[in-house]
A and B are shown apart, each in its own frame.
Chain A
Amino acid sequence: MKKTIKCVLIDDEIPGLTFLKRLCEQIDRLEIVKVYNQSEKFLHDKDSLDFDLCITDIQMPGLSGVELVHLMPDIYFIFTTAYKEYAVEAYELDVVDYITKPVKMERLEKAIEKVVLLMDRQEPQNVKTPTLTVNTDKGKMVLLHENIKYIRVATQDSRDKIMHLGDGTEILVKNISFEKLAAALKSPQFIRVNKGEMIATAIVTYYSHDLINTSLNIASKPLKLTLGAPYKNDFIKVL
């Protein structure tokens, strides 16, 4: 079965809201989470609601529909309004559709179809695997985060780092700081264990107060690391 779209309806006028709700109830893919006649009330509740779409009037006392769009960039919006003049402003904003009142069923269904298309397109993006682009001694390289297991300071130059990938390959990455790495390779997937080493948390097998055992083999021996005192708290929090 297709995924349902969870939506919130807002209109300051009850008759308009009643009508909109009736129409929405007849669209199978829509699940009405909640209905508001005051935009402030919606704003107050929004964090406790689970919804993908907001169908709202533009002209409302208090917060207008346009302001709501600015406040909620992650939500799909459909505007309904009696005023055709707002259309231009609505298109400048990133709203899915703009319906003039009186709302017609076919028009509403079309707008919902657009949301469906957008949601379907977004889904694969969400599961896209994160990558990291680095400068190696052989040139630029794109690494999947999941393939990076262990990073240590290079012996020759402390500005360079050596990255161990799961398959046993080692890469020399030129001139990159741990701070920069930590910004790209975020906790809790990655954690720094001491001044010169950073690991993927997935490779940790067991650890004591100052020693970490990992499932990563280097030169056919399991890698053991010391846990630096300043990094201990963060490490324990993540594990």
Chain B
Amino acid sequence: MVQIISIILLLILVFVVYQNFILNKQLKKHRQEMHQLQQKYAGENLTSINTRLNPHLFKNILNSIQSHAYQTYYTIEKLSNVLDYVLYETQAKYVSVRDEMDFAKNLIEINKIKLSPLFDLRVKIKYDDTNPIVDKPLMGPLISIDLIENAFKHADIQNPESFISIVMELKGDHFSLAVSNKISVKPKLQKSKSGFGQDSLESRLQLLYPGRYTLEKHADEDIYFAQLKIDLNEKDH
């Protein structure tokens, strides 16, 4: 009888130990699962942070790059036109008014790359296409370069109040170019040589249009104004 009881007790003991072993194993398994889940959750959190990074930001940058690329493409084309003109057309003593005006347009376009779009640049280049003078070789090549370049050189392009105004016109046989701009207050660069500047413009005009041109320049406080007028009709004189 005692033997039977002890066997039963032994059996119960074995059963309990086994049960314990099973439970332990399950617990371990659950812990592992729990750990895996926690890791997975942390991972999910990370990806949600990733998606919170606004993809529009990159789209914006892409748009900016596109803007710059277009500017570059556009300006290269205009610069190429300017170079062609300078290399191949300006050898002649006279060019057509149309060519010189187109050159001035391109020159202004390439200078725009230095300007903010907010800068107040007013350009008016006008000629009547039916005017026979337009295609006659009557203009000294690069006559317009000095005044236009000067405006871009001396204008205070960082100042929001600043401006450049360029008006180029052919009326009948009268050509006029008026440039005005707000002068930068910063000290001028000291230059030992005045170079290919206003003096050479005067002397060229003197040679090309003796007695048929006026070149007016004056500065009104911080506003600089220059106007060139040429009578292209030789016969009048």
Chain A residues engaging chain B, CB cutoff 8 angstroms: 9, 13-22, 35-37, 82-83, 101-102
Tell which of B43-51, B62-70, B137-145, B199-207 binds the partner: B62-70
B59, A14: Cβ atoms closer than 8 Å:
no
Query: Residues of B at under 8 Å CB distance from A?
Result: 56, 59-60, 62-64, 66-68, 70-71, 74, 116-118
Beyond A35-B117, A37-B118, A82-B59, whether A16 also contacts B74 by CB under 8 A is: no
Contact partner, B63, options A9, A15, A22, Cβ 8 Å: A15
- Determine the chain A residues whose CB is within 8 A of the CB of B59 once the complex forms: 82, 101
Could you jot down 30 A-B contacts, CB within 8 Å?
A: A9-B117, A13-B63, A14-B116, A14-B117, A14-B118, A15-B63, A15-B67, A15-B68, A16-B64, A17-B117, A18-B67, A18-B71, A18-B116, A19-B66, A19-B67, A19-B70, A19-B71, A20-B117, A22-B71, A22-B74, A35-B117, A37-B118, A82-B56, A82-B59, A82-B60, A82-B63, A83-B56, A101-B59, A101-B63, A102-B67
Complex contact A21–B64 (CB within 8 A):
no
B150 to chain A, nearest CB (A): 23
Cβ-closest 6 pairs across A and B: A19-B67, A15-B67, A15-B64, A18-B117, A21-B117, A17-B117
Residues of A within 8 A of B66 (CB): 19, 102
Q: Which residues of B contact A20 (CB under 8 A)?
A: 117
Q: Give the complex CA separation of A67 and B59 in angstroms.
A: 24
Other than the given A15-B64, A19-B71, 10 more pairs (CB < 8 A) read A9-B117, A14-B118, A15-B68, A16-B67, A17-B118, A18-B71, A21-B117, A82-B63, A102-B62, A102-B67
User: With the chains together, A16 CA to B63 CA distance in Å?
Assistant: 7
Return chain B residues, CB-CB under 8 Å to A15.
63-64, 67-68
In whole angstroms, how far apart are the Cα atoms of A35 and B59 in the complex?
23
In this complex, which of B56, B62, B63, B74 has the most chain A Cβ atoms within 10 angstroms of its Cβ?
B63
- The distance in angstroms between the C-alpha atoms of A35 and B112, with both chains bound, is 14
**Bound-complex Cα distance A237 to B78 (A):** 58
CB-CB under 8 A for A102 and B63, given A17-B117, A35-B117? yes
- For B70, what are the chain A residues with a Cβ–Cβ distance below 8 Å? 19, 22
Enumerate chain B residues within 8 angstroms of A36, measured Cβ to Cβ.
118
Instruction: Provide the residues of chain B in CB contact with A83, threshold 8 Å.
Output: 56
- What is the chain B residue whose CB lies nearest that of A101? B63
Asked whether, in the complex, the Cβ of A35 is within 8 Å of the Cβ of B118, the reply is yes
Task: For residue A15, give the distance in angstroms from its CB to the closest CB of chain B.
Answer: 4
Q: Which residue of A lies closest to B120 (CB)?
A: A34
Of the listed residues A15, A16, A36, the one surrounded by the most CB atoms of chain B closer than 10 A to its CB is: A15
Do residues A13 and B117 form an inter-chain contact, with CB atoms below 8 A? Answer: no
Residues of B within 8 A of A19 (CB): 63, 66-67, 70-71
Report the nearest B residue to A23, measured CB to CB.
B70
Q: How far is the CA of A102 from the CA of B56 in the complex (A)?
A: 13
A229 to B117, CA, bound (A): 59
**Residue of B with least CB distance to A37:** B118
**Shortest Cβ distance from A209 into chain B, in angstroms?**
51
* CB proximity of A206 to chain B, nearest CB, Å: 46
B166 to A: closest C-beta gap in Å: 14
Residue of A nearest to B122 (CB): A32
A196 to chain B, nearest CB (A): 58
In the assembled complex, the Cα of A102 lies from the Cα of B61 at a distance in Å of 11
Q: How far is the CA of A31 from the CA of B149 in the complex (A)?
A: 24
A21 to B67, CA, bound (A): 10
- Which residues on the B side are within 8 Å of A35 (C-beta)? 117-118
Closest to B57 in A: A82
